[in-house]
Chains A and B, each alone.
Chain A
Amino acid sequence: MAVTELPSKGGFSFDLCRRNDMLSKKGTKPPSYRKTGTTIVGLIFQDGVILGADTRATAGFIVCDKNCEKIHYMAPNIYCCGAGTAADTEAVTDMVSSQLQLHRYHTARESRVVTALTLLKSYLFKYQGHVQAALVLGGVDVTGPHLHIIYPHGSTDTLPFATMGSGSLAAMAVFESKYREGLTKEEGISLVSEAICSGIFNDLGSGSNVDICVITKGHKEYLRNHQLPNPRSYVSSKGYSFPKKTEVLLTKITPLKEKVEVIEVGDAMEE
């Protein structure tokens, strides 16, 4: 008589480790992390900071999210774009955002960009580059507009215009040739869109749409999907027709009767 195996109730299940080991020895690669192979940019214009990002998330060679959000909220006056491993950028920005909120309650003052910068860079340095998050941090506080880049190992740069991600060279080519000081808001938005579009069309890791965030003193504008340069342009002219319906001759509904009573093994609702 066979003994049925009970499922384990909790803890990490090591059942598949031997199988994964055997497969990797035979040459099969495990599924890769979801990365945001990306173009993210930021620039300082006359009244504040404009951040821009594309919206494609890739897992290896497949696009796993066509319209993800790469501009993360840090504080009402500070936003952060993230490139690298998606989980790392989300987790790190969420964590520092909560720390900033607690700090705001403690000091009763608006958060400063350098506070977010120091919290992020100390965390990333502590993990020696294993937390693969490359960030473009921008915001406006009492001391003025600030734009910083943070690298995965914890170093930072303070710049008037910045790009990160796989499409950073394509976007930087646009910035280096067209940026000047004292841009107006419309000029800034159009330059950022142009840089992101350059990344979208010239880099394979970036694509889909353009997200923009404009931060000025006391005011912010989050323009989700500001530009959609990749619309679905092929629609079949004949329309989509489904095969002809089969004729219904008779409809009879028989409710199923339970023949076996199921008893829950072990304690129900065990946490």
Chain B
Amino acid sequence: MESNQAPQGLMGSNDNIQRTQYPYVTGTSVVALKYKDGILMAADMGGSYGSTLRYKTVDRLKPVGKHSLLGASGEISDFQEILRYLDELILYDNMWDDGNSLGPKEVHNYLTRVMYNRRNKFDPLWNSLVLGGVKKGQKYLGMVSMIGVNFEDNHVATGFGNHLARPILRDEWHENLSFEDGVKLLEKCMRVLLYRDRSAVNKLQIAKITEEGVTISQPYSLKTFWGFSAFENPTVGAEGSW
């Protein structure tokens, strides 16, 4: 097939290249926190196509290597591309066969470089990534945004979770949470997101990573409460209004 594009690599930018202008299939928030034995991360399984909840079984939490767990919100195809890059990274690391393996800090740094470099070329990977892991007893939890902003913290949230889950986490997180308490806190955040985020679905997974390895739970749904008496007859005392 004849191609009338200029030879790439030597020249500068090529005008035929398409850039990611806006995301198509997106995942909503990811919430994660450090607990006594490692990291707990929660995400729902929804992939929205604009305002339609198109895909309801999208795995947004994936293990990376032996020590890390990656959660992503934003464009799903870019997330799959990142998983391919990480696959290659882990493969090359294994090929060294030197008894050392990439820890969460190293993977986080790699992801930061990838995201920042793509942003500098005005062709971002439209994701907010949460990277958590445990290596040699050290817990690590970090976040990278689509423009390359990265930081490490005791609890992180992406997307709508920034506004709804962060206040709860700031108030109620403390060092050395037990597994049950951590899960309860995450479920509290996910429930508020379910009530107030229009792109949330009631089908979530919670993943935990400890020194032993990664466990991603089976999908399950949260109980919600709609029985307020004010909802049953909101116009009592003012017939005809709403």
Contact = CB atoms under 8 A, between A and B. Distances in A.
Interface of A: 44, 112, 114, 117-118, 141, 143-144, 146-147, 156, 158-160, 169-170, 172-174, 176-177, 181, 198, 201-202
A117 B241 contact: yes
B159 to A, nearest CB: 12
15 contacts: A112-B237, A112-B238, A114-B238, A146-B237, A147-B230, A156-B241, A156-B242, A158-B235, A169-B163, A170-B167, A173-B163, A173-B192, A174-B167, A177-B168, A198-B171
Contact of A201 (B170, B236, B238): B170
B236 A176 contact: no
B22 interface: no
A228 B238 CA distance: 38
Contacts of A112: 237-238
B18 to A, nearest CB: 34
A52 to B, nearest CB: 15
Interface string B190-201: 011001100000
A176 B191 contact: yes
Contacts of A118: 241
A169 B164 contact: yes
Interface footprint category on B: 20 to 34
Interface in B8-67: none
Interface of B: 163-168, 170-171, 188-189, 191-192, 195-196, 228-231, 234-238, 241-242
Contacts of B189: 173
B165 A173 contact: yes
Contacts of B168: 173-174, 177
B230 A202 contact: no
A172 B241 contact: no
B237 A169 contact: no
Nearest to B163: A169
Contacts of B241: 114, 117-118, 156, 158
Contacts of A176: 191-192, 195-196
A143 B236 contact: yes
Given A158-B242, A160-B228, 4 more contacts: A146-B237, A158-B230, A158-B241, A202-B167
Contacts of A160: 228-231
Q: Which of B165, B167, B195 has the most CB of A within 10 A?
A: B167
A172 B242 contact: no
A141 B237 CA distance: 10
B230 A198 contact: no
A173 B197 CA distance: 11
B164 A172 contact: yes
B217 to A, nearest CB: 21
Given A158-B230, A201-B170, A202-B170, A177 B163 contact: no
A202 B157 CA distance: 14
Contacts of A114: 237-238, 241
B228 A170 contact: no
B230 A44 contact: yes
Given A146-B237, A156-B242, A177 B188 contact: yes
Contacts of B192: 172-173, 176-177
Contacts of B237: 112, 114, 141, 143-144, 146
A172 B241 CA distance: 25
